[in-house]
Structure 1
Amino acid sequence: ERSRLINTADAAVYSGLVWQARALNFQAYTNRAMVANQVSIGQLVSLTSWTQYAYILARNIDSIIEYFPVDELSIEAAERITETIDDVAVNIAETFIPIIDSINGMLSRTQQAVYVASFAATPAIVREVVEENDERYNTNTAYAVIGLGENALGWQNLVRRYDDEDGLLRKADVVNRSKDEFTNARNLGTSQLIPNAPDVLNLGITRLWLRKEGRTNLVSDAQDGSMQWEWKGKDTFSLHREDLEFTRRGPRWVHRELPLGWGSRHVNGDFECEEGQDRSRWWSWRYSDDGCPRYTQQNRRAEMIANLSQEALDAEYNGIRAYNDLRNLSRQNGDPRLALRLEVELPQSDVRTASKIDGLGSDSVPEDELRSGMGEGMFGTEDQMAGEGMAIIASGELFFHPPDDYVPARRRGRYEIASLFSPYWEVRLTNTPLERRFMAWTLRDENLLTEGASGISSGVEHYIHEREEELARLRGLEQSLQDQLNDTIDVTRRAELETELVAVGSQITHLESTSGNALMLTDGLQQEMAQGVSEAAQIQVGQYEHMLQEYAEQEGEEIVDQFEDEVVDQITDQMQQTLEAAAEEAVESTLNSIIIIN
C-alpha cells in the first residue's frame, strides 16, 4: 500500500508540473512565432522598397541614356519589367501583411488563454491522476490544499502580461535584433556590384565609386498613452566622386554624390520623420538634415529624395502585440523555480491489511490460542495508524534547463538566463523538506506532531544507545590490543597488533563523530519542527483570497469561482482558529520529549 501510495503521489505531482512546463514552453514558442512573423512583415516591406528602388533606378538610367548612342530597347524593357515586379510585390505585401498581423493577434490571445487555463487546470489534473490510480486515495487534506494554493500563487507570480510601453519596446528590440541580413542591411560596394572592379577607381585627381545602401527598421512612437508601430524600408544607389581641388588653404578632396536610384515604403503611417516636413520642396534634398533618422551612411542625398517620395502600403498593421514573459527579468533571477507539493491520503478504513483478509484476519486477535492450521483470525491484528490513515507528501519543481547545461563546455563563458522566449522548461521530483512534513502533521491533527515526535525521539534514543554500546566494545578491544602489544616482543606479531590498533582507532573516531551528529540531529529536529509548526500557524486563507481578488480583476469571476470551489473553500475558518493553539502545544510537547533524550 505504501509503495503504491508513493508512486501515485509522485505521478500526480509530476503530471501537474509537466502540464505547467508545457504551458511555459508554449508561451516561448508563441513568443518566438510572433517575433518571426514580425520579421516576415519586415521582409515584405523590404522587398517592396527594393523593387521600387529597382524600378526608379531603371527609369533614371533610361532617362540618362537618351543622350548617348546606345540601345534603348533593352533599358526600356528593364524599366517595364521592374515596374511589373514592383506592382506584384506591392500586391503580395498588401495581401499578406494583414494576414500575418492577424495571426500575431491570435497567437497573443491564445498565449494568454493557455496561461489562464493552466492556472485552473493544474489542481484538476493532479486530482484526476490520483483518482485514476486508485479511487480510495484523496487529496482533500489541508496540506494538499495549501500545496496546490501555493503552487497557484507561485504560478501567478512567475509570469506577467507585458502590454505597457517598456514591455512592448523590449519585444520590439528583440524583433529588430532578429532581422535577417536582407532586412537589416542591404549594402553593396563597387567590387560587389561589378565583379573584379576595385572598390574605388582612382584616376589621380579624381576618385569614383558606386554605393548601394538600404535597410528596414521597426520604429515606434508613443502618442496619447498608446503605442504606434511602423515598418519602414529604404533603398538607395549613388555614384560618388571626389575631386582634388587646390585652395588657399591647400589641396583638399571635395565630395559629390549623384543619386541614381532610391525607394522607400512603409506600413501603418509615417511618423518617424518630424511633423510639418515640407515635401513639396524637392530642392530640400540638398540639405543635410530633413528631420528623418538616417538609414544610410554615404548615400545621404539619395536617402533625402527617398524620404520625399516614399509610399505607404495599403495594409492594416497593429504592431507589437501583448505577450507573456517572466515577471522578474533581472539577472539575479537567472534560475527561477516553481514548486508543487501534494499530500495524498489513504484513510485507515481503506488500507488493506492482514486483518481484512477474508477467512484469515479479523478486527481483533482471537482469545483462544490457534495451535495449528489457517483458521479465522490467524493473522488478526489490531490496526492502529497515526492520523487514522496513511499519507504521503510528494514534491517536485519546474525549472529552466537550456541545452548548454547538458554540455557545460559549450557555454564558452556565456550563460542563458531563463525567459519565456526559450522553450527549455523541464520538471523533476525533489525531496520534501523535513519542516514541510512537520507542517503537514500539524495541519492534520494537533496531537499528531507530538505523537510523531515521540516516535522520532525513541528512534534517536535507540540510535544513540546502540552507538554507545558499540563505542564501549571498541574501546575495550583497543585496551586489550594495547596490553597485548606491551607484552609482545615478536616483531611480526607487534606489526599485526599495531595494524589492528589503527583500524580500531579509526572506528572509534568515526563513532565519536557519529554521536556528535546524533546530537546535531536532535538540535536540527527541534528547529525543523518549530519551523514547520510556525509555517502551519501562519497559513491564512486571506493570502489566497487576496490572490483570487487580484486575479479576478484580470481574468473575470468564472475562473475565480472555479478555483475557490476547488481550493480555498477547503481551508476552513475552524482550521485557522485551532492552528495557533495546536502549534503552541505541539512545539512545547515535542521539545520536552527531545530534551529528555539529551
Structure 2
Amino acid sequence: MQRSARKGRARFAGTRGQALVPALLFLLVGGIGLYVAFGSFQMTGAKMKLQNTADAAAYSAAVLQARDYNFAAYTNRAMVANQVTAAQVVALKSWIDELDATYAGNPDTEDLIQTAAAHPSLWTTPNRRGRLDIAPVRNALDALLPTVAQGIGSITRALSDAQTGYHMALITAIPETADAVARRNQSDTHVTSGYFTSERNAVQLIAWQSYTTIVTPAGKLDNDHLADVVTDAQTLDGFVKRRVSSRSVAPDYQQLDDQASATCRPAGRITINVTHVGGTQLRTDKKGWQSIDASTAHVITPCTGAVDTIAGHGGSTNGNTRGYMTNPPFVSWSDWKGYGGYYNFGDHTSPTPGLLIPDAMAQQFTLGPGPSLDSNNGGLLPYEDIAGTPTAEDAPRITIEVEREADTLNNTPGLHGAARMQVDNGSARGVMRALASAQAYFVRPAEDPFGASTSGALLHASEWLRADGKREYPSVFSPFWQVRLAPVTDSERAAAREAQMPHDTPAASRR
C-alpha cells in the first residue's frame, strides 16, 4: 500500500505545470489583443476628438457669419430710424418757415385786403401778433435744426461705415477664428493651411461672400430695399407724409369777416379763410429729403367773387440739392414725384403728379428747396443687403478642414509598436484630417395650427412673433439669424480625400 501511494504521488507530481503553457499562450494572445484594442481605441478616440474640434471650428465660423447679418440688421434699423428723424427735421423746418411767411403776409394778398376790406387792421393786427408769438420758436428751430440734421447725418454715416468695415473684417477674421478655436480645443490641431481660400473651397467661399452686398442707393432711380422700408406707410408718421390743416384759428388769426370797403362794389362783406397743406418726400434719386409747405387764402369779396391767393410758403431739404429738377428751370411732372408713391408734397387735389398744384406750392418749388440742412450726409447712405430675393432660410455653408499630425495621436510611450505589430493610424501622408460645415440661418417663429409658437429649439419663441402673423423671409433688416451645423457634401469629402493622396500616386491606385 505504501509503494502504491508513492507511485500515485509521483504521477501527480509529473503533471504539475502543464496548465501554465496554455495560460501563458492565452495571456500572450490576450496581451496582443489588448494592445491592438488599446491602439485602436486611441485612434478612434483621436478621430472623434478631431471631428468634434472640426465641428467647433466650423460652428464658430458660422457664429461670425450670423453676427455679420445680425449686426447689419441692427445698423440697418438704426439707419432707418435716423432717416425718419432726418425727414422730420426737414419737415419741421419747412413747416415753421411757411408759418412765419404766412403771418408775414404775401404782398398780393395784403394788397387785396387793403383794397377790399373796410377794416384791414382786423387782418393785419392779429397776424403781426401771431408772428411775434412764434418768433422765439422759429429762432430756436433755425439754430437747432441744422445742428440736429448734421448730427443725425454723421451718426448715419458712422453706422454705414461701421457696417461695411465689420463685414470686410469678418471675411478676414473667420479663418483665423476657426484656427484659434481648433487650437483651443486641441493644442496639436489646426485648420489646414490655405484651405479656406483654396480651389476646393472656392465655390463655397464665393457663394458666402456674394450672399450679401454693399448697396449704394443715392443717385439711382431704381427700386431699393432700404428706401422701401424708410418710405413705408408704417415707418413715416403723419406729420412727415401729409400735413393738412386750417391756418384760420379763433378768435381772429388768419381769418377775416369784415364789411367790404367803399371801393369794392356792390356792397357786401369780405371773408377770408386760410388752408395749409404740406408734405415731405424722399427724392426719387434718393439723394435727400425735400419738403414743401404752402398756405392758400380763400378770399370772397363782392367785387371779385371767390379767389384763391397765396398766403405763404416754405421749403426745406437735406442732401445734395443739385438736380432736384430734371430740366431746370422748367418743372416737369416727374419732379413732383417722391419715392414710394408719394407725390405733390401732400396735396392730393389731383391724383396726377404736378397737376392742380396750389400756386403757393408751385411758387416755392420754382424758388428751389433752399439751403440744405445737411449737404454731406443727407439722403440714403450705403448699406449691406442680401443680393437678390432669398426664399430659403439657409445662408451659404462654411466648411472647415482641421488636421493633426499622426505622430501625435498615440500619447502612450512604448505602445507605438513596430513592424507587423505597429497599429496603423489610418492617416494619409502622416496627417489626420476632419471636415465640418456650419451655416447661419434665418428663423422668425410663426403661429402653428394649435396656437403654440414653435421654431426649432428657440426659447420664448412666442415673443419673436410678427404682429401680423405672416411669414418673414430672410433679410438683413431683422436680427433673427441663428447658427447650426450642416452636413458635409460627398463632393467635399471626395475632394478632401483626393487632396490627401500623394501627387505621384497613379490614379488607378487611388481608388
What TM-score bracket applies, with the shorter chain setting the length? 0.5 to 0.7
Is 1:32–1:421's contact at 8 Å kept on the other side of the alignment?
Answer: yes
Show the counterpart of 2:130.
Answer: 78
Out of 426, 429, 433, the position equivalent to 1:391 is 433
Show the counterpart of 2:316.
Answer: 265
Give the SS at the match of 2:236: coil
Out of 12, 22, 36, the position equivalent to 2:67 is 22
Letter in 1 for 2:426: A
Show the counterpart of 1:371.
Answer: none
Show the counterpart of 2:291.
Answer: 233
Shift in alpha-carbon separation, 1:420–1:412, aligned structure 2, 3 A: closer
Show the counterpart of 1:514.
Answer: none
Is 1:213–1:236's contact at 8 Å kept on the other side of the alignment?
Answer: yes
Structure 2 distance, partners of 1:184, 1:124, is: 48
Write out aligned runs for 1:555-570 (5 A): none
Show the counterpart of 1:183.
Answer: 240
Give the SS at the match of 1:217: strand
Shift in alpha-carbon separation, 1:51–1:128, aligned structure 2, 3 A: same
Q: Which runs of 5+ in 2 are unaligned?
A: 1-45, 251-270, 338-343, 350-356, 448-452, 456-464
Letter in 1 for 2:183: E
Compute the displacement of 1:321 (Å). Answer: 2.3
Asked if 1:345 is matched to 2:403, the reply is yes
Shift in alpha-carbon separation, 1:59–1:208, aligned structure 2, 3 A: closer
Show the counterpart of 1:523.
Answer: none
Letter in 1 for 2:61: G
Structure 1 distance, partners of 2:102, 2:245, is: 15
Is 1:339–1:397's contact at 8 Å kept on the other side of the alignment?
Answer: yes
Show the counterpart of 1:133.
Answer: 185
Is 1:14–1:429's contact at 8 Å kept on the other side of the alignment?
Answer: yes
Shift in alpha-carbon separation, 1:117–1:141, aligned structure 2, 3 A: closer
Show the counterpart of 1:217.
Answer: 281
Compute the displacement of 1:437 (Å). Answer: 2.9
Show the counterpart of 1:108.
Answer: 160
Q: Which runs of 5+ in 1 are unaligned?
A: 195-206, 222-227, 244-253, 280-287, 368-380, 447-574, 590-598
Show the counterpart of 1:362.
Answer: 415
Asked if 1:325 is matched to 2:418, the reply is no
Structure 2 distance, partners of 1:411, 1:392, is: 44
Name whichever of 11-20 and 305-314 sits farther off: 305-314
Is 2:101–2:314's contact at 8 Å kept on the other side of the alignment?
Answer: yes
Shift in alpha-carbon separation, 1:238–1:74, aligned structure 2, 3 A: closer
Show the counterpart of 1:515.
Answer: none
Give the SS at the match of 2:438: strand
Compute the displacement of 1:81 (Å). Answer: 2.7
Out of 465, 468, 478, the position equivalent to 1:422 is 478
Is 1:335–1:399's contact at 8 Å kept on the other side of the alignment?
Answer: yes
Structure 1 distance, partners of 2:367, 2:419, is: 105
Shift in alpha-carbon separation, 1:92–1:142, aligned structure 2, 3 A: closer
Give the TM-score taking structure 2 as reference length: 0.65
Letter in 2 for 1:175: V
Compute the displacement of 1:217 (Å). Answer: 1.0
Compute the displacement of 1:396 (Å). Answer: 0.9
Give the SS at the match of 2:482: strand
Q: How many residues align?
A: 399
Shift in alpha-carbon separation, 1:183–1:420, aligned structure 2, 3 A: same
Out of 427, 442, 445, the position equivalent to 2:501 is 445
Compute the displacement of 1:74 (Å). Answer: 5.7
Structure 1 distance, partners of 2:127, 2:315, is: 22
Give the SS at the match of 2:191: coil
Compute the displacement of 1:585 (Å). Answer: 4.5
Compute the displacement of 1:71 (Å). Answer: 9.7
Out of 429, 442, 445, the position equivalent to 1:400 is 442
Larger helix fraction of residues? 1
Write out aligned runs for 1:48-67 (5 A): 48-60=93-105, 67=119
Letter in 1 for 2:231: N
Compute the displacement of 1:130 (Å). Answer: 0.9
Structure 1 distance, partners of 2:221, 2:472, is: 20
Out of 209, 212, 219, the position equivalent to 1:156 is 209
Identical amino acids, percent of aligned pairs? 24
Deviations 1:222-273 (CA, angstroms, capped at 9, x unpaired): xxxxxx8242211233455899xxxxxxxxxx98535444322233436434
Shift in alpha-carbon separation, 1:236–1:433, aligned structure 2, 3 A: same
Give the TM-score taking structure 1 as reference length: 0.57
Structure 2 distance, partners of 1:58, 1:91, is: 20
Give the SS at the match of 1:234: strand
Is 1:101–1:317's contact at 8 Å kept on the other side of the alignment?
Answer: no
